[in-house]
Each structure stands twice: as structure tokens, then as C-alpha cells.
Structure 1
Amino acid sequence: MTFHVLTVPATDVDAGELNLILGRPAPPALAELALSHPRGGTLTLGVLGASHVVTIDSDAQRFTEQISCNTAPQRTPLPRSFEDRGYRLEARTRELSSAAIARLAGLLQARSETDDRWITGRFPGDASALTSLSALPERDGWSWSTWHLYPGPRCGTVVRTESRWTP
């Protein structure tokens, strides 16, 4: 099953504090999903404390993307877009009503329960507090998407990212 009900509280609780951290060792994940590329190599999707880490191990090299509130050195506030050495990121932040966040959380949970290329972690306190990731192999690399849901009493925030990496 790739849907996980987590028992630890979320540590990244403010979408505005998310950072992009590339090339650093992956922190321990609360839940992980490893996918194999048909041409060799593995991508691991990891749910952190309301954020994520993606690690790619290929014959050519190792790559990591972490989007979290981590204050480690070499962090960059989450940009709307970023491109560097075969890596591309697009990020969008939206405010949604509590009802819309709940509907999106339900859709993401259902997808994670039926598609083995998806992983979702739900945090205690609100059924809409979740992080969801999915990935697909491409010809020579990978593409992946993430959703970070931060519900609130009347409205909440959704951070959606689309990434692609080619060695």
C-alpha cells in the first residue's frame, strides 16, 4: 500500500517557509517508495514531515531534491521555476477553501491506494494534511510531481511541484 497514515506530527507547517535543497544527502523519510527505471537505476520518493525528498541513483550519478523547511546550508527559498544541469522544477502555490482542500486530499489518497507509482503520507490532526508524490520514468531520466497540503480552518494552501531530471 502506498498510502500511509503517519503517527508523527508534521514539522513543516508553513508553505511560505519551503526551501529547495539539491544534492544534499537525503534525510530519513517517514515513508518511501522506490521505483525502477527500465534502463537501470532507481528513484526513491520520500515523505518527510509535510515535505519531501526524491533520490535518484543511476549508473551516471546520484541526484537528490529536497523541498522542506529545513534550514541546512545551500538552501534556496522555493522558486516558481528553476533549471540547472539536466534538472528542471516548476512550483505553484494556491489558496483553496477547506472544502476544496478536503476534496483534493481525497483524490490524492484514492490515487495512492490504487496506483503503485504514487505515495501519500497523511499527518495527524486533519485528514487533509498530507504530502503526495508520484513519478514516471522517461527515456533517459525521470519526471515527478508533488502535492503539499496545508489545511486551515477556512482555507488552506496547496504547493504543487513538477520536476524532471536527465543525467
Structure 2
Amino acid sequence: MTLATIMMPSPVGELTLVASDAGLVAVLWPGDDPARVPLAALHDDAAHPVLGEATRQLRGYFAGTRTRFDLPLDLRGTDFQRAVWTALCVIPFGETRSYADIARAIGRPSAVRAVGAANGRNPLSIVAPCHRVVGSNGALTGFAGGLAAKRWLLDHESLRLL
């Protein structure tokens, strides 16, 4: 199945949005490693309705007028990964959670490292806000878009971290 894509300029770099007929599949960073989020054949499609709506909502987020996303999502991963990514979607704007918090939220309190790995493979950056996950001491940790982008997103949400 071919997936539709569109490029979107943003304050954190040019993002690649990817969608299927079922929903948004990915928000990719400039220079994103293709192995992080493996995808089928892609084609440009600026008229794809999911991509149009995702672009509109992301622009609202970056403009400071949107704090939640309301998009159909096509989560592609293992059951465990999908559970982690779904848990990310309930972290409120302007708040953070630790990897341990996410592990507890999905009923797997000892799976902190696995949560970190799933978080790192989150295909829906910003929409499934993995940037809101920090170390247990509040420090910034790895992020597919780079720590500068993570800092920008958290600052945009008015968070001041270590």
C-alpha cells in the first residue's frame, strides 16, 4: 500500500507528514533515519484529506492556538509500542511524564527500558508527544528530532526543565 506524504515547514525544521487512508502514520524529522520508522512506498499528495487536516492542526500547535490534536491515527507497531504511543497521547499539554510513569500507565511498571525504546520509535512525533517524556530526574533525554527540537517544543509549551 502506497502512503501519501507532504512536507511541512515548522519552527523545528521541515517535517514530513505521512498518511494512509486510515489516518496519520508518521511525522518525520529532517534527516530521520529510515530504520527508525520503516514505511512502505511513499508518494507526494498535497490533496490527501488527512495530511491537510494534520498540517492545519500542526500549524495551530506551532502558532500557540492548539494544545491537543484530533486526528485519525494509523499506529503501526507491536501491541506494546502501540500501548506506549497511546499513553503518550494522554500526556497533557505543558506537562511531562517519566519513562517509569508511562510504564506504570500501561500496566508494565518494570518495562521502563522497553518504554524508552518504544518512545524512541514513536512515528508520530509532536502529535503523540514523546517530547513530553523526560528522565526520572526531569532531565532531557534522547529525541529523534534532536535535543534542541525537544527543548524548543517544551519551551513552546512553557516548560522549564533542567
- TM-score range normalised by the length of the shorter chain: under 0.3
Q: Quick check: which one's helix share is greater?
A: 2
TM-score (norm 1): 0.24
Q: Quick check: which one's strand share is greater?
A: 1
Q: Which has the higher contact order (CA 8 A, sep 6+)?
A: 1
TM-score (norm 2): 0.24
